[in-house]
Amino acid sequence: MEREKAKVMAKILVIDDDSSIRETLDLYLTEEGYLVETAATGTDGLNKFTQKPPDVVILDIRLPDVNGFRILEDIREEDENAKVIMITAHHDMESTIRAMKEGAFDYIHKPVDVNELDIAIRKATHALEMEKKIKGLLVESSRDFKVGDIIGIGPKMREIFKTIGVVSQNRTPVLLQGESGTGKELIAKVIHNNTAADEPYIGINCSAIVETLLESELFGHEKGSFTGAVTRKPGKFELARYGTVFLDEISEMSLNLQAKLLRVLQEREFERVGGKDRIKVNARIIAATNKDLKVMIQEGLFRDDLYYRLNIVTITIPPLRERREDLKPLIDYLIAKINLDLHKHIAGVSDEMFHIFNQYSWPGNIRELENLLVRAAVVAKGQVLVKSDFPELQEAAAARPPSSPGADPFTDAGGRVLTLDEVEERHIRRVLRDTKKNKGEICDILGISRPTFERKLEKYGIQFERE
């Protein structure tokens, strides 16, 4: 019933010079419950659009007075969010690409398939409905964010913020641990900006450069020290001055270079490759890894003495699946950033899409979330990102074997085995959701003391208001 009501309210403007097409579409769409107006020329259609803006425009590309692409441009100048479905008898690739590039909502070939047209109109009106619900909320909220912010409202991220504040008071080495895509380099930059913002920040990926070149990159070299060294070259430690050297993926550094880095940390000085002069190191060293260095030490792949030198302050960044309370503010922040970078006006994701996000395991963490949102924003036809804008997640869901909700409490929606903390958090939340007990009774159900219960509520960022 609501669907029929929404359809009746939708106004459609048909701009086509073919009288038979105008009459056919007018009759069909009116019978379907839409309010229809028609125009035989681009000029007449544009006048009707500006005088009485419709919800959806069906626009022919070939018009007698002006090219349909020009009308599309004029319509979007009037309303950049206008939903324009373009139709044409020509099946050329260039026209299709140009139409979508210039902002058409959809592109349909003649003879018009009414079922295809009906689906396109429904998608357009649905996009309009969602845009009206949350119009401006996220765009306005973008001023609350600054580029380079670390987004986090849960207890784990609050502890990281505290640690950043402490290490920003000194220049001790910092080791950042976390899965790929969790934001280790962002945290390194925040530490740098709070310690020595006026000094250089120099990052280097230890896995992206072969060992022979990595040594030269870090320490520099003298002229003639090896084939191709035609001039003296300062290294990263020298260029950083009193700033920061960020060594990403330090686990990929060879044992030979690890020994030289250890010497730098111990003696705070080094020599260029092929040189004899000792150069003072004044920069802070921040190292990052997505591997367990303790396991690598046991396997003989990482020096234990270097580990203890780097491990003076360690910040472990939790994966996104362990900080789901941060998912909504992260989406808001990333979309605001995307709007700024791509000159878009995305207002947010649909409720259905957020539910899917919340159930997803996020193996690529925040980087994966950002990449998905960027791709969706590029192809989205409305201001609200919906399920069809994320084909990658649909393919991942289709590849999983079907299972009933809650059938396996030890895996997530992506089939990943949960950690002990995740299982515990899920169990506590389920007990709180399914019972109306007070804290004392819930403690009895969980088999834990009241202080332990309070600590777990804080640990998992769970709000509990009943007494």
> Which CATH number belongs to the domain containing residue 221 in this structure?
3.40.50.300
User: Are 122 and 7 contained in the same domain?
Assistant: yes
Domain for residue 101, yes or no? yes
Domain for residue 280, yes or no? yes
Domain count, the chain: 3
Domain for residue 373, yes or no? no
Q: Given 289, 320, 351, which residue is the final one in a domain?
A: 320
User: Are 213 and 179 contained in the same domain?
Assistant: yes
User: Are 57 and 185 contained in the same domain?
Assistant: no
Domain for residue 415, yes or no? no
User: Are 186 and 303 contained in the same domain?
Assistant: yes
For residue 397, is pLDDT > 70? Answer: no
Q: Given 290, 320, 350, which residue is the final one in a domain?
A: 320
Q: What angle do CA 436, 437, 438 make, to 5 degrees?
A: 130
Sheet strands (E) in 206-331: 220-221, 233-234, 244-248, 269-271, 278-280, 284-289, 313-316
Mean pLDDT of 292-300: 92
pLDDT of residue 276: 78
pLDDT tens string 51-86: 889 999 999 998 999 999 999 999 988 888 789 999
Please tell me the least confidently modeled range out of 132-141, 235-244, 260-269: 132-141
Domain for residue 48, yes or no? yes
**Domain range for 63:** 2-134
Please tell me the least confidently modeled range out of 105-109, 200-204, 404-408: 404-408
User: Are 48 and 86 contained in the same domain?
Assistant: yes
User: Are 34 and 172 contained in the same domain?
Assistant: no
Which three-class secondary structure state does DSSP give residue 154?
Answer: coil
171 touches 195 (CB < 8 A): yes
User: Are 60 and 127 contained in the same domain?
Assistant: yes
Q: Given 267, 291, 320, which residue is the final one in a domain?
A: 320
User: Are 164 and 19 contained in the same domain?
Assistant: no
pLDDT tens string 44-53: 999 999 988 9
The pTM of this model reads 0.64
User: Are 107 and 176 contained in the same domain?
Assistant: no
* Rounded distance between C-alpha atoms, residue 131 and residue 81, angstroms: 10
Q: What angle do CA 323, 139, 11 make, to 5 degrees?
A: 120
